[in-house]
């Protein structure tokens, strides 16, 4: 652990090192005339020999810690900061900040901001993409007929879920959205219209039946949680609550998708009841049941970029964009990260904010491998895929008053089940944009198809929903492929059947000086933007207290459960419990 005294001592050593550093015939500085606060003239190369000075990462880190940005540092204009290559690839030795934050999404930026507020600025943020925001990802799309400019749409997160109130609690993302004037529109889930393959058809009675069953299942889940009983699947919980539709009742299947998959991006068969309900209550009960759709033409991630500006200067070299992490080596002394471009960053601590999907893949090599208790928890948690398919037409042939238009396919559950117009009142009026949503297996199928195949299928469904209209080919069409994005491998996490609180805690727990944050780490708010934000600030706070010398590493280690037992003792594997196989559980026969 580095305490304040050690940090001061390190800076004093670096001061001395900088004061005596020479390159060629030009001395950078001396103790008599170097004024770090007012002048950089000694750092500018002025040598008649034309020899370039060797880059020294520690010198740059010193400058950064004293308030200088890359724009102020002129070493022949070649030292790369936020331009896309890691510093270590340019430097004569690996970078050695106190902390590195892997990922510039919501969790990473929240952690960095919290650390800055704790007077800790000696960190690097390493980001694969060329922007801040992660899965807050917007894109230019279509064309505004009046201005000739494209619209901004959200490929990733799109809502501020559970905005909260002064009477309950305010969602931190909503507070930030208001702070930065983010334009949003109330998501009215009652502004709903239902269809089948022939036309509009009212099957909202199925939705009402599902809602009643969900209320019953919620009560059941509360008893399971409080009495420490075994969890159920959400499907089993709904059955217990009275929801037992026929498999060929496609209206009921569409209602079930709307009531569960739309939020979880997984089916109720695959989802755990207790924490599925608890997560729902945490957001929509603790905050509020009001959600707003973000339609700001600066992009949803605008608020995050603005928050980043409170501690990152323009072209701040502590932000390494377009830098892909390939390896993470950790121990009790620190964390070493290697990047795709051959760079190396060594730090006392690291916060890994990679998505659950990335952690479930072998795209980043951990040395040593993550311990079994942690990796098995990561592997068991679920990463969902939620795909929005955007279309712009020459004209709007749909009902613009219905924010949510549900389609019950006669054959496949979850086949293009939802369409949302974006040209209704308070949205992108006059845009003629509508988007469809698919999740789970349907999302994977869409990702495997070409855009042309998907477009033809969606147009066919829209034509069946509006048989009296002629649905033409859209003028603009696009959708993301989240499960194949090498920096995401999915949209957001979900709590699966059989996942316990203790096992989920193993996802959150640090491994020596390698820490983890992100929406999947949030026990209460997994899958939500505010989950990533809250976890990022929490981990930033913990590490900040360690770096500031308030306690040692061990005192702030997060709870972990290296051995998790089941509920059945081996003596209970007997014929009275139906265990009739001719071998014992000790494996002797």
Residues that are catalytic: 161
Strands (E) across 170-248 are located at 184-186, 192-195
As a whole number of angstroms, the distance between CA 256 and CA 408 comes to 11
List of long-range contacts for 17-24, beta carbons under 8 Å, 24+ apart: 17/58, 17/59, 18/59, 18/62, 21/56, 21/59, 23/47, 23/51, 23/53, 23/54, 24/49, 24/51, 24/53
C-alpha distances in Å from residue 247, one per residue of 10, 197, 251, 254: 68, 18, 10, 11
- Quick check: 539 and 515 in contact, CB under 8 A? yes
C-alpha distances in Å from residue 308, one per residue of 173, 462, 547, 549: 14, 41, 21, 25
As a whole number of angstroms, the distance between CA 27 and CA 22 comes to 4
- For every residue of 316-332, DSSP letters joined together read -TTEE-S--EEEEEE-S
**3-state DSSP assignment of residue 86:** coil
- For every residue of 230-263, DSSP letters joined together read PP-BHHHHHHHTT----TT-HHHHHHHIIIIIHH
- Quick check: 396 and 183 in contact, CB under 8 A? no
Q: Judging by DSSP bridges, how do beta strands 292-294 and 159-160 pair with one another? A: antiparallel
- For every residue of 21-48, DSSP letters joined together read -EETTEE---TTT--TTT--GGGS---T
């Amino acid at each position: 652990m580095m305490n304040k005294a050690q940090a001061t001592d390190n800076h004093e050593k670096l001061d001395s090192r900088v004061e005596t550093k020479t390159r060629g015939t030009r001395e950078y500085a001396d103790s008599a005339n170097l004024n770090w606060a007012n002048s950089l003239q000694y750092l500018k190369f002025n040598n008649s020999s034309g020899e370039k000075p060797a880059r020294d990462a520690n010198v740059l880190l010193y400058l950064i810690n004293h308030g200088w940005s890359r724009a102020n540092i002129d070493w022949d204009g070649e030292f790369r900061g936020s331009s896309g290559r890691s510093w270590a690839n340019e430097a004569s030795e690996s970078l050695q900040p106190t902390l590195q934050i892997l990922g510039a999404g919501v969790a990473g930026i929240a952690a960095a901001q919290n650390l800055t507020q704790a007077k800790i600025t000696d960190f690097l943020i390493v980001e694969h993409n060329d922007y801040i925001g992660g899965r807050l990802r917007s894109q230019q799309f279509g064309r505004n007929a009046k201005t000739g400019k494209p619209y901004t749409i959200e490929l990733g997160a799109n809502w501020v879920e559970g905005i909260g109130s002064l009477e309950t609690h305010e969602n931190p993302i909503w507070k930030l959205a208001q702070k930065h004037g983010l334009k949003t529109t109330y998501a009215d889930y009652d502004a709903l219209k239902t269809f089948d393959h022939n036309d509009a058809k009212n099957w909202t009675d199925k939705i009402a039946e599902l809602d009643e069953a969900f209320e019953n299942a919620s009560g059941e889940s509360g008893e399971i949680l409080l009495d420490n009983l075994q969890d159920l699947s959400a499907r089993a919980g709904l059955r217990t609550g009275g929801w037992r539709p026929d498999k060929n009742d496609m209206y009921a299947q569409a209602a079930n998708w709307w009531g569960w998959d739309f939020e979880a991006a997984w089916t109720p068969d695959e989802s755990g009841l207790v924490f599925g309900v608890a997560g729902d209550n945490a957001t929509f009960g603790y905050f509020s049941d009001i959600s707003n759709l973000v339609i700001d033409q600066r992009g949803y991630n605008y608020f995050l970029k603005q928050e980043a500006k409170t501690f990152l200067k323009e072209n701040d070299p502590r932000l390494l964009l377009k830098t892909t992490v390939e390896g993470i080596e950790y121990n009790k002394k620190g964390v070493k990260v290697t990047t795709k471009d051959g760079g190396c960053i060594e730090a006392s601590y690291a916060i890994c904010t990679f998505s659950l999907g990335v952690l479930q893949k072998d795209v980043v090599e951990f040395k040593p491998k993550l311990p079994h208790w942690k990796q098995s928890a990561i592997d068991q948690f679920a990463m969902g895929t939620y795909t929005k398919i955007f279309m712009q037409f020459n004209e709007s042939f749909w009902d613009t008053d219905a924010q949510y238009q549900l389609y019950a396919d006669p054959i496949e559950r979850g086949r293009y089940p939802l369409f949302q117009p974006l040209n209704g009142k308070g949205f992108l009026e006059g845009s003629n944009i509508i988007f469809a949503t698919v999740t789970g297996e349907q999302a994977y199928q869409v990702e495997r198809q070409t855009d042309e195949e998907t477009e033809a299928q969606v147009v066919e469904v829209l034509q069946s929903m509006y048989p009296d209209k002629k649905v033409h080919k859209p003028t603009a069409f696009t959708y993301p492929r989240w499960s194949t994005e090498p920096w995401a491998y999915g949209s957001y996490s979900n709590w699966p059947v059989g996942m316990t609180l203790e096992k989920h805690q193993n996802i959150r727990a640090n491994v020596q000086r390698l820490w983890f944050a992100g929406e999947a780490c949030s026990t209460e708010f997994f899958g939500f933007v505010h989950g990533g934000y809250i976890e990022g600030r929490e981990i930033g706070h913990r590490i900040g207290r360690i770096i500031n010398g308030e306690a040692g590493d061990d005192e702030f280690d997060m709870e972990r459960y290296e051995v998790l037992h089941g509920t059945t003792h081996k003596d209970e594997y007997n014929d009275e419990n139906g265990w009739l196989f001719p071998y014992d559980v000790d494996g002797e026969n």
